[in-house]
Amino acid sequence: MSKNISIFDTTLRDGTQGEGISLSVDDKLNIAKKLDFLGVEYIEGGIPGSNSKDIEFFKRVQELGLTSKIVAFGSTRRKGGNAETDANLNRIIESGAKAATLVGKSWDFHVHTALQTTLEENLNMIYDSIHYLKRNGIEVIFDAEHFFDGYKNNPEYTLSVMTRAYEAGADWLVMCDTNGGTMPHEIQEIVRAVVSHLPEAKFGIHTHNDCELAVANTLAAISAGARHVQGTMNGYGERCGNANLCSVIPNLQLKLGYHCIAEDKLAQLTNVSRYVSEIANVNMPVNQPYVGSAAFAHKGGIHVSAILRDSRTYEHIAPEQVGNKQRILVSELAGQSNIISKAQELGIELDPFSSHSRQVIDRIKDMEHQGYQFEGADGSLELLIREANGEVKELFTFESFKMLVEKTAGKPVVSEAFVKLSVGGRSHYTAAEGNGPVNALDNALRKALVTYYPSLQEMHLSDYKVRVLDDKDTTAAKVRVLIESKNFSNGWNTIGVSENVIEASWEALVDSFRYALLNEVPLEIIEPDTLAQGMVNH
Amino acid sequence: MSKNISIFDTTLRDGTQGEGISLSVDDKLNIAKKLDFLGVEYIEGGIPGSNSKDIEFFKRVQELGLTSKIVAFGSTRRKGGNAETDANLNRIIESGAKAATLVGKSWDFHVHTALQTTLEENLNMIYDSIHYLKRNGIEVIFDAEHFFDGYKNNPEYTLSVMTRAYEAGADWLVMCDTNGGTMPHEIQEIVRAVVSHLPEAKFGIHTHNDCELAVANTLAAISAGARHVQGTMNGYGERCGNANLCSVIPNLQLKLGYHCIAEDKLAQLTNVSRYVSEIANVNMPVNQPYVGSAAFAHKGGIHVSAILRDSRTYEHIAPEQVGNKQRILVSELAGQSNIISKAQELGIELDPFSSHSRQVIDRIKDMEHQGYQFEGADGSLELLIREANGEVKELFTFESFKMLVEKTAGKPVVSEAFVKLSVGGRSHYTAAEGNGPVNALDNALRKALVTYYPSLQEMHLSDYKVRVLDDKDTTAAKVRVLIESKNFSNGWNTIGVSENVIEASWEALVDSFRYALLNEVPLEIIEPDTLAQGMVNH
C-alpha cells in the first residue's frame, strides 16, 4: 500500500469555526500562500454558498497561481430538490475552485433528526450532488459527517452511503468523527472494515479533538488504510479543534515513514505554524508539540546536565527537523548549571566559580519571587547576566516621568508624557504625545536619546502584553508587562513588574532601549557653536 | 482483569517543570486539597531531596489529613554508594510521606551516557533503593525512565530492570515514555509484552505529550494491561506536558468503562481543572477538551440549529457529566438564530421579527469589525442586547476623566484619577488615588456612584487582561481590555477597545459598573437639610 498521504488543510474553513478565530479575506490569502509554500495538497478556503467574503476569497486566490488545490466547501443538495438548481452547489461551480468538499449525512439518527428526511432521499442527495459537480469537471471530496457514530448505530447504512458516493464518482471518501467522541481502537476497526468493503475507493479521515485524541485517531485511520488527512494548522477548529496538522505531519513523516510534504518544507513547519497563529491573532501555547517555544525547552536540573552531554538523552527528535530549537529555561527549579548554560547560549562567558555567577543566580531568584518571569524575557535576562559581569553601561540617569491621559465627552482621548533625565551630566526634559500612554512614554524617551543613538529610529515595539499576577484584588495587584521590540534584523523581549501598569511598562521600555543599544557607542553631541564652526570650515 | 484504575497526580512535581508554572508552598497545599476532594489515589508533592520548599510542603500537608496518599519523589541511590547513607533517600524517609516514587534508568544508552556506570550497577542501585524504602514501611512506585526507548534498544535489559524492581518489593512498576516520542501502537505492544513477562506485578504508565499523543498512549497502555496512570491536571509538565488527567479520566470512565474516581466527583472535574489553572496562573486554552470554556461551544449556524433540536447531534457526551456546560457563540459566522438563542440563554426575550433584533446583529458585527470579541465578554454582550431592547438605563452622564501617573527617582510611583460626571442632573467631580491607573479610575468612579448604589461596595475587579490587536506598530495600535468582575455570588466579563489602553480600560470599567447595577434602583440622595430634619423628627 502506498506510503503517500494526501494532506488536506481546512484552517480557512473548519479552523475559523474555533472560538476567537476570525480571518479577513487578506488574512486568508496570506495563510493560503504559506500553506502552498509548505506544500499541502489541498487548501479548503471557505463556503462560497455562505457569504460574500468567501466568494471574494475564491476570486482573488486564483490570481495567486498556487500549486496546492483550492477547495470550496458545501453541503449536499436540499431534500426534495435537484442538484442542477441548488443555489449552494452552483455557487461552488461559480467559485472557480477545482475541487469541492461535499458534506453529507451518514448517521441515520441525524438523517431523521437534523435533516428530517428519509434514508433513501439522503442517499439520493449525496449521489445527485456529487454527480452534478463531477459532470462540471470538479474533483469531489465527500465528507461523511458523523461517520463513526453512524457506523456504530447502523453499519449497513453508512456503508451504503459510501458506496453511493463512490458510484457517483467521489475522488476521496472521508470518514468524519464530527463530534470528536470516538476512541482510537474504534476508529481503527471501523476504517479497516470500510476499506475492505470498498477496496477500490480512496479513503480519508477527519477528526476532532474533543477527547484529546484527534491526532491519535488520525494515525489509527492511516494504519487501517486511509490515505488522506483533513486537519488544521495548530489544531484550530470548532469546540476543541480539529486534528492538528503540525503534529500529524511530523508523526506520519518522522515516526511512521509516510510521505506528506517535502523534507526541506518540514523544516519550515515551526515558522508556518507561528505565522498562522500571528495572522489568526491567537497566542500559541508554549507547550504545543513540535512547534511550541517550549517543545524542546528544558527546565529540570538533572535533564539539563544530561542534555548538555547528549541531546538524544531527552529529545525524541532533533528540533531542527521541524524548524524548532532547543532552549534552556531559567527558573527557581534551575541550578547554577542552567544559568551558566543559558549564558553560554547567549554567548556570554560566566565563570562558574566566581561570586558574579552566584550574584546573578541570587538576583534572578529574588526577582522571580517578585513576579518576574525570564522565560519570556530573554532581553532582560541577558542584561542581568551582562550587568553582573560588569558589561552594561547605563544610558542615562533617570530623574522623573509624568504620564497624563485626558478624555472629555465628545472629544478624542489625549495622552502626553514628560520625561526628565540626564546623559553624561547633560539634562534633558522632553514632552511628547502618543496614541496611548506607552506610545507617549516611548516617544518622549526616544526624543531624549535619539541624538546620542540615531539607530533608535530603526527600532519599534512590536508586541505589548499585560498580565495580572495576583487575582485577589486586581487593579491593586502586581502586573507583569512584556514588551517585544524589533529592528531590521532582530527581535528581543523585555519585562517590567510593578503594582502600576505604567511603571511596569516604563521598566520594560527602558530595558528594551538598553538592550537595543548594548553595543552602541553614543554620538558625541556637537554643540551648536562647534557645528557653526564646522560649517564655516567646509 | 480489574476495571479499577489507580490515578496518580504529579501536577505538584512534574507539572511544575512546565514553562511558566511556578507554585508556592501554599499554592501546592491548596491544589493538594482539591485533588484530594476529586479523589485521586496518589498526589506526588515534590522532591524532598531538592529544596526546602518541598520539605515544608511535606511537613504541612500532613496536618491536612487528606485521604489521597501523598508521594515523595526521588532518584535511586548514587552509583557506588549505598542506600542507607544516601542523603536523598533519607530525605524521602524523613519527609513523612507514606509512598515514594523512585525514578531509575532502564535505557542502556542512558546508563552509559547520563549515569556513566555499568548496567549491573544500575540494577543494584534500583534494588537497593527500593528495598531500603520498603524496609522503612514506605510504599514504592518505581518509575522506569525512558522505558520504551530502552525496550526498543535492548528489551532484555529493560525486562531485567523491571524484574529487579519487582523482586525488591516495588508496589507499582511504571513504564515512562520520558521524552514523549513513542507511538500508541508501540506502547501497546511493549506494555503487553512486559505485562506477560511479569504477570504477578502491577504496572503503570507515565507519558508525555511531545507528539500530541500522551492521552492516546495512556489509553493504549491501559488496554494492554496497565492499571495505574501518572499524569497532571491540564497536562502541565516539562516541554509539551504530561498526560492530561482532565482528558484521561473522562475517556477511561465515560468511554471505556473503567473506574477512576467517584461519578459525582467526575462532575467536579471542570471546577477542579479551572481552579488549578487559576492557582498556577496559567490561562486555560478555551479549546481544552472536556473542561475548556469552548469544549461544548457551538459557532457554526448549521450546528447551532441542530443543537437546538437535539444536543446529541453535535455533542459526544452531556457536558454536565464533567461539570461543563453548552454555550452558543456569537460571531461573524453566526446568523440571527445564534444571537437569538444567546439572548434566550441569557433569559432575554428577543423578537426574531423585530427591527430590534436586526439592529443588535448589525451593531455586534460592526463592533467585532472594530476589534471587539464578545465571546469573552458576556456582560458587555448582555448590555448590548438589553440596550437594543430598551431595557438599560444610563447610570450617569459622562463629562470627563483625567488620569495622571507620576514617578520621580527614589520615590514611589503615584497614580491619580479625576472623574467628572452627572447623575440625574446633579454634578459630581471626584478625585482618587490608586495602586495603578485602573485602580485610581475605579476608585474615582466608585466615589461618584456609591451614594446612589451602595451595592458597589460588594463588587471588585477580579481580572484584567490587555491584548494588542495589531502588531504592526504596537503602542499606537488598538488594544482590547477584558475586565472580569465579581461580587459575592456572580462573576461577569466586560470589554473595551481603543488605541489607548486607559480609554479601553475605562470603557470596560464603565460596562462592568453598568452590568453590576442592571437591576438596581438608585437611592434617593437625601439632601443635608432633609437629613437634619429627619434626625430631629426621630
ipTM of the complex, rounded to two decimals: 0.74
pLDDT score of B511 more than 80: yes
| B289-347 residue pLDDT tens | 999 988 998 875 556 666 666 777 778 999 999 999 887 766 544 456 667 777 877 77
CB contacts < 8 Å between A and B, how many?
A: 353
pLDDT score of B102 more than 60: yes
Chain A residues within an 8 Å CB radius of B403: 404-406
Q: How far off is chain A from B448, nearest CA to CA, in Å?
A: 17
Chain A residues within an 8 Å CB radius of B375: 19-20
Q: How far off is chain A from B161, nearest CA to CA, in Å?
A: 18
* Lowest mean pLDDT, pick from A45-54, A425-434, B318-327, B468-477: B468-477
| Average pLDDT rounded to a whole number, residues A488-497 | 84
Residue bearing the bigger pLDDT, A462 or B84: B84
Of the pLDDT bands very low, low, confident and very high (cuts 50, 70, 90), residue B412 is: very high
Q: How far off is chain A from B528, nearest CA to CA, in Å?
A: 30
pLDDT score of A150 more than 60: yes
Are B375 and A434 an interchain contact pair (Cβ–Cβ within 8 Å)? Answer: no
Q: Which of A238, A467, A375 is nearest to B481 (CA)?
A: A467
Location of C-alpha cell 479543534: A241
φ/ψ of B237, rounded to 5, equals 155, 170
Burial of B312 (0-12, 13-18, 19+ CB in 10 A): middle
Report the alpha-carbon distance of residue A362 to residue A385 in Å, rounded.
11
Chain A residues within an 8 Å CB radius of B407: 400-402, 502-503, 506
Q: Which of A389, A390, A397, A431 is nearest to A414 (CA)?
A: A431
Amino acid at residue number A70: I
B52's grid cell: 526546602
Q: What rounded mean pLDDT belongs to chain B?
A: 88
φ/ψ of B11, rounded to 5, equals -55, -40
| Average pLDDT rounded to a whole number, residues B124-138 | 98
Q: Return the bridge partners of B418, or none.
A: B402, B431
| Average pLDDT rounded to a whole number, residues B144-160 | 97
* Lowest mean pLDDT, pick from B326-335, B385-394, B477-486: B326-335
**Residues in contact with A369: Cβ distance below 8 Å, sequence separation at least 6, in sequence order:** A332
Chain B residues within an 8 Å CB radius of A209: 287, 289
Among A336-340, B82-86, B393-397, top mean pLDDT goes to B82-86
**Residues in contact with A127: Cβ distance below 8 Å, sequence separation at least 6, in sequence order:** A164, A165, A167, A168
Residue bearing the bigger pLDDT, A481 or A279: A481
Among A176-180, A299-303, A482-486, B521-525, top mean pLDDT goes to A176-180
Are A465 and B469 an interchain contact pair (Cβ–Cβ within 8 Å)? Answer: no
**Residues in contact with B447: Cβ distance below 8 Å, sequence separation at least 6, in sequence order:** B419, B430, B432
Among A237-246, B45-54, B378-387, B511-520, top mean pLDDT goes to A237-246
| Average pLDDT rounded to a whole number, residues A46-68 | 91
φ/ψ of A55, rounded to 5, equals -60, -45
Report the alpha-carbon distance of residue B430 to residue B447 in Å, rounded.
7
Burial of A177 (0-12, 13-18, 19+ CB in 10 A): buried
A352's grid cell: 562558574
Chain A residues within an 8 Å CB radius of B467: 465
Of the pLDDT bands very low, low, confident and very high (cuts 50, 70, 90), residue B203 is: very high
From residue B81, alpha-carbon distances to A162, B110, B121 in Å are 66, 19, 10
Are A290 and B211 an interchain contact pair (Cβ–Cβ within 8 Å)? Answer: yes
| A326-376 residue pLDDT tens | 877 665 444 566 677 778 777 777 776 777 777 787 788 778 777 787 766
pTM reported for the whole predicted model: 0.74
Are B500 and A223 an interchain contact pair (Cβ–Cβ within 8 Å)? Answer: no
| Average pLDDT rounded to a whole number, residues B414-443 | 94
Q: Which of B66, B63, B45 is nearest to B54 (CA)?
A: B45
B316 vs A210, A212, A309: nearest CB:
A210
pLDDT score of B378 more than 90: no
pLDDT score of A159 more than 50: yes
| Average pLDDT rounded to a whole number, residues B211-224 | 98
Report the alpha-carbon distance of residue A299 to residue A482 in Å, rounded.
21
| B264-279 residue pLDDT tens | 999 999 989 988 987 7
Q: How far off is chain B from A58, nearest CA to CA, in Å?
A: 17
Q: What is the pLDDT of residue B35?
A: 98
A475 vs B247, B461, B473: nearest CB:
B461
Contact A34, A272 (CB under 8 A): yes
Q: What is the pLDDT of residue B20?
A: 75
Q: What is the pLDDT of residue B302?
A: 59
Q: Which of A253, A259, A212, A209 is nearest to A232 (CA)?
A: A209
